[in-house]
Amino acid sequence: MDFDLTDEQQLIRETARDFTDKEIVERSRENARNHHFDLELVRKLAAQGYLGAIVPQEYGGAGLDYVSYGLIVEEIGRGDSAVRTVVSVQTSLVCSAILKWGTEEQKHHYLPKLCSGEWLGCFGLTEPESGSDAASLRTRATRTDSGWVLNGSKMWISMGNHAKVALIFAQTDPELAHRGLACFLVDTDQEGFQPQEIEHKMGLQASDTASIALEDVHVGEGDMLGEIGDGFKVAMSALDSGRYSVAAGCVGICAGCVDESVRYATEREQFGRPIASFQLIQSMIADMVLKADASRLLVWRAGFLKDKGRPNTLETSIAKLHATEAAQECANTAIQIHGGAGYVDDHPVERYFRDVRVTTLYEGTSQIQKLIIGRAKTGINAFVPA
Ligand SMILES: Cc1cc2nc3c(=O)[nH]c(=O)nc-3n(C[C@H](O)[C@H](O)[C@H](O)COP(=O)(O)OP(=O)(O)OC[C@H]3O[C@@H](n4cnc5c(N)ncnc54)[C@H](O)[C@@H]3O)c2cc1C
């Protein structure tokens, strides 16, 4: 076993750390306060090669391995989960799906524009009546002479208001259940594609989240990703990458909580000494360090398996479950260490606390990750009670 990063991976990590500190951290508080989806920052992410890190260079990506991608996402996640969401959605949910399931023509058409940031993409799986039970989605795809027409609605779609291309999952034949599902590459520049911003979120204020009405949305004959019946597999394979990305981002939150808490605890004095000298404070810091390290190792294991091309759905779910729950606990603990000062946005821990809450919900809730882990270990599918 070798826990050392290569020289290249270390350089990638340091570069991502510098970029995060110089470009992201500076803007986070104002962007969150103003609910500002920062397109200028998106362009900077693209220029760094962070919107298609795992996409091969022949399609315009950076051609990096998954461990390197995880290192980048960890740093960006430490800076701002709203920005990390852009990277995760664009790279993992959209690019990885096109890379795995697309024809050569589709890959050459979409990937360079997505990697360069010229286009943003979104991933339209969830619907008002279909969340954890994704296969029950109701958006309907009907054949036409020239392709397909889509009708239905999507809910909670990150970047839905800004995307130029949307991966829309739809049912081609309700009688076929999940075998009728298909994934379509939808041009959002048409009247029937109607996104609407979801307001009043608890966190991720600087992230764009949309509900989308689909009214007679046209899709060309060649704009299906995979075949009819592949829809569910396309979604699950994209989520294998997306969950890894969320987990890596949460390692960043854990690490950020440690950094901020150590900084604050060594500066803040009570009872005539720095609060860092109190054992109860050190106990909280030790708990966070433990959670950060354990989460990072689980992410690295999942990344290692991805890079080897070995099965990793189980290990990715374990990393996602552990890192997201750990990041929530760290954010809570970090506020405790900051006392009243942690309750306002002068310190990043306040934003960590609000932003982290969604990570145990999206890309499969913690309960869904446990069902995946339980199924893998017992061989029994407990998604639906017997
Ligand atoms: C900010 C944000 C961004 C998002 N971005 C996207 C996106 O870009 N694209 C996209 O497609 N979706 C996106 N989502 C949707 C997200 O993936 C769903 O919210 C998530 O899958 C859960 O679905 P749900 O909200 O319908 O909850 P439900 O499925 O209704 O779950 C409610 C509760 O029931 C539990 N539950 C459900 N089924 C079971 C079971 N079999 N056994 C035990 N417990 C169960 C769940 O764990 C949860 O606790 C986003 C959500 C948010 C909040």
Cα atoms in the Cβ-side hemisphere of radius 13 Å centred on 262: 10
* pTM for the full predicted model: 0.98
pLDDT band at 1 (very low <50, low <70, confident <90, very high): confident
Residue 152 backbone class (left: φ over 0; alpha: ψ -120 to 50; beta: rest): left
> CB–CB of 142/149 below 8 Å?
yes
12's tokens: 């990638």
Please, what is the average pLDDT of the chain?
Answer: 97
Q: Give the tokens for residue 85.
A: 């969401």
Q: Residue 70 forms beta bridges with which residues?
A: none
pLDDT score recorded for residue 76: 98
Query: Per residue in 92-146, pLDDT tens?
Result: 999 999 999 999 999 999 999 999 999 999 999 999 999 999 999 999 999 999 9
Helix/strand/coil for 121: strand
Q: Average the pLDDT over 284-305 and give the result.
A: 98
- pLDDT, one tens digit per residue, over 8-55 is 999 999 999 999 999 999 999 999 999 999 999 999 999 999 999 999
Q: Per-residue pLDDT for 386 more than 90?
A: no
Among the listed residues 55, 121, 54, the one whose alpha carbon sits nearest the alpha carbon of residue 86: 121
Ligand 1 centre to CA of 380 (Å) is 22
Distance in angstroms between the alpha carbons of the first and the last residue of the chain: 41
How many residues in the chain? 386
The strand pairing partners of 154, in sequence order, are 212
Specify the pLDDT at position 343: 98
- pLDDT per residue as tens digits for the range 179-214: 999 999 999 999 999 999 999 999 999 999 999 999
Alpha helices in 34-158 (DSSP H): 39-47, 66-79, 81-87, 96-101, 104-115
pLDDT(385) > 90: no
Q: Give me 243's structure tokens.
A: 């969950």
Percent of the chain with pLDDT over 90: 98
H helical segments located in the chain: 7-19, 25-33, 39-47, 66-79, 81-87, 96-101, 104-115, 231-267, 279-308, 313-338, 348-356, 366-378
CA of 253 from ligand 1 middle (Å) equals 21
Q: Choose the residue to mutate in 83, 156, 168, 367 for probing ligand 1, maximizing ligand atoms within 8 Å of C-beta.
A: 156
- Compute the radius of gyration of the chain from its Cα atoms: 21
Pocket perturbation via mutation, ligand 1, pick of 83, 126, 136 by most ligand atoms within 8 A of CB: 126
Catalytic residues: 363
Nearest Cα to Cα of residue 259 among 205, 323, 321, 337 = 337
